Amino acid sequence: MAYDKFNTLQSSAYPLPIENVDTDQIIPARFLKATERKGFGDNLFRDWRYNADDSLKEDFPLNDSKYSGKILVGGRNFGSGSSREHAAWAVYDFGFRCVISSFFADIFKNNCLNIGVLPVQVSDAFAKEIFLAIEKDPNTEIKVDLINQTVTLIATGNSESFEINSYKKENMLNGFDDIDYLQNIKSEIQEFVKTRPF
């Protein structure tokens, strides 16, 4: 389905400076039982956010009222493991529109792009700078400009460019998805099917 358009986002951010955050942490398997795409945000980082008795873990960044915003900044190798798109849905449903990390796992990154959450890969040094800036001032804002492919720390003006392929960029800017594209070339696909040996 077509999703929200993404152009420029300026927001404060939640920090999660842990490496190798896997999709079982983002959303544990026992919360994948729905047959509709809704409500996954409640269980985002379930076992890091809540104690066994369902009380909140106060020290987890997503529970800390000093943080806010539509950007999640994660440690290196964010989103490894399972292909569950539920992980990207949970990130979206919680209210995030952008995830920043110095390295993303492939499938998670793809899933984000397919639902309109922008994965922004920055250098290790800039990721560190962002974490430090948030630690210093939890309200510090980050500007993500998709058209110019730049991410900027507002407080210092320091900026870095990020990669995104031009096709996906166009999709994000316009809220198009891949199925719209594929449906439009269906006759070409049907011709190709005839050539397949099995």
Which amino acid, residue 78?
F
Q: How far apart are the first and last CA of the chain?
A: 30
Task: Please count the helices (runs of H) and the strands (runs of E) in the chain.
Answer: 8, 8
Which residues contact other proteins (rule: CB under 8 A)? 1, 17-20, 22, 24-25, 28-30, 32-37, 47, 52, 75-77, 80-86, 88, 103-107, 110-111, 114-115, 165-168, 177-179, 181-183, 185-186, 188-189, 192-193, 196-198
In Å, how far are 148, 163, 198 from 171, measured between CA atoms?
A: 15, 15, 33
Q: Please identify which residue in the block is written with the tokens 């995830």.
A: 99
Least distance between other proteins and beta carbon 150 (Å): 18
Q: Of the two residues 121 and 140, which places its CB atom closer to other proteins in the complex? A: 121
Q: Of the two residues 41 and 68, which places its CB atom closer to other proteins in the complex? A: 41
Least distance between other proteins and beta carbon 17 (Å): 7
Biggest alpha carbon distance in the chain? 61
Strands 71-74 and 13-16: parallel
Q: Of the two residues 65 and 190, which places its CB atom closer to other proteins in the complex? A: 190
Q: Of the two residues 11 and 23, which places its CB atom closer to other proteins in the complex? A: 23
Least distance between other proteins and beta carbon 125 (Å): 14
Dist. CA 146–CA 155, nearest whole Å:
19
Fill in the DSSP letter of residue 50. Answer: B
| Burial (Cβ within 10 Å: 0-12, 13-18, ≥19) of residue 105 | buried
Q: Of the two residues 19 and 137, which places its CB atom closer to other proteins in the complex? A: 19
Q: At what angle do helices 86-94 and 106-115 cross, to 10 degrees?
A: 50
Least distance between other proteins and beta carbon 197 (Å): 6
Q: Of the two residues 70 and 84, which places its CB atom closer to other proteins in the complex? A: 84
Least distance between other proteins and beta carbon 5 (Å): 17
Least distance between other proteins and beta carbon 10 (Å): 27
